[in-house]
Amino acid sequence: MTEISLYQRLNKKKFIPEKVAEVGVYYPETSLIYEYILNGTPTILVEADPGIANLIRSHFHGNNNYSLYEVAIYDSECDIELVRSGASSFIADLNSSPAKVNDGINIKNLNKIKVKATTFDKIDDSHIDLLAIDIEGCEWYVLKYMKSRPAVISIETHGGLYKNPFYDNIKKWMNDNDYEIWYKTKSDSVFVKRHKIKIDIKDKTLLFLTDILIFIIKLKKVITKIIKGLF
């Protein structure tokens, strides 16, 4: 069954963002805010990999409603090493990322490139009201320096055996800034500003069931890993 997209869910809630942003786009067709870009909504895109950034420029050629920043978002302005691992490319300095935890990859065997990094406040204009973040363990650095307070924030928090290394920071920030969780996917948690989008009993029930499913999937992977370790 095809998962309902963020765009479809927000349409059902009759929420129309005035400005959207995505940090960690990967292929343009996979963007969580793809429909908003196509319909002309002012957009900020951030993608560290220069090859992917060129694909984005080519795909959205003719669209003049977006700004693309070819940088990584980090805790400081510096040059950093990006480990190329497809949709799971990550910063080499991170102790935990989905590719490391779920795939057990060895970064010595992967292609690495130097990229520019900056803090998100250098990009954020304070007017973002829908934000998607998927940067393989560095999501916290976006929130840490963000000036906007979007009505909706989608952020990669989990997946398989992986749990975002800054999950506690993320959860505290959401609580401190008056956000509540709306729903989860197999890898993301979507938060909304309280009173901006109404969370009903159906949403709460689906969230409860999704949490159970995520737990079962993780438990199965833990058991599989233990069994493999015995042989």
Q: 166-214: per-residue pLDDT in tens?
A: 999 999 999 999 999 999 999 999 999 998 999 999 999 999 999 999 9
Residue 164's domain is classified under what CATH number?
3.40.50.150
pLDDT tens digit string along 123-155? 999 999 999 999 988 999 999 999 999 999 999
pTM tops 0.85: yes
Structural domain count, the chain: 1
Domain carrying residue 177 = 6-75+115-229
Which pairs count as long-range contacts for 73-76, CB under 8 Å and 24+ apart, including other chains? 73/23, 73/46, 73/117, 73/118, 73/119, 73/120, 73/123, 73/135, 73/138, 73/141, 73/142, 74/117, 74/118, 74/119, 74/138, 74/141, 75/119, 75/141, 75/144, 76/117, 76/119
- Whether 96 maps to a domain, the answer reads no
- Whether 87 maps to a domain, the answer reads no
More confidently predicted of 88 and 59: 59
More confidently predicted of 111 and 143: 143
- Whether 26 maps to a domain, the answer reads yes
- Whether 109 maps to a domain, the answer reads no
1 has a pLDDT exceeding 50: no
- Whether 139 maps to a domain, the answer reads yes
- Say if CB 209 and CB 202 are below 8 A apart: no
- Whether 25 maps to a domain, the answer reads yes
What percent of the chain clears pLDDT 70, i.e. is strictly above it?
A: 97
- Whether 20 maps to a domain, the answer reads yes
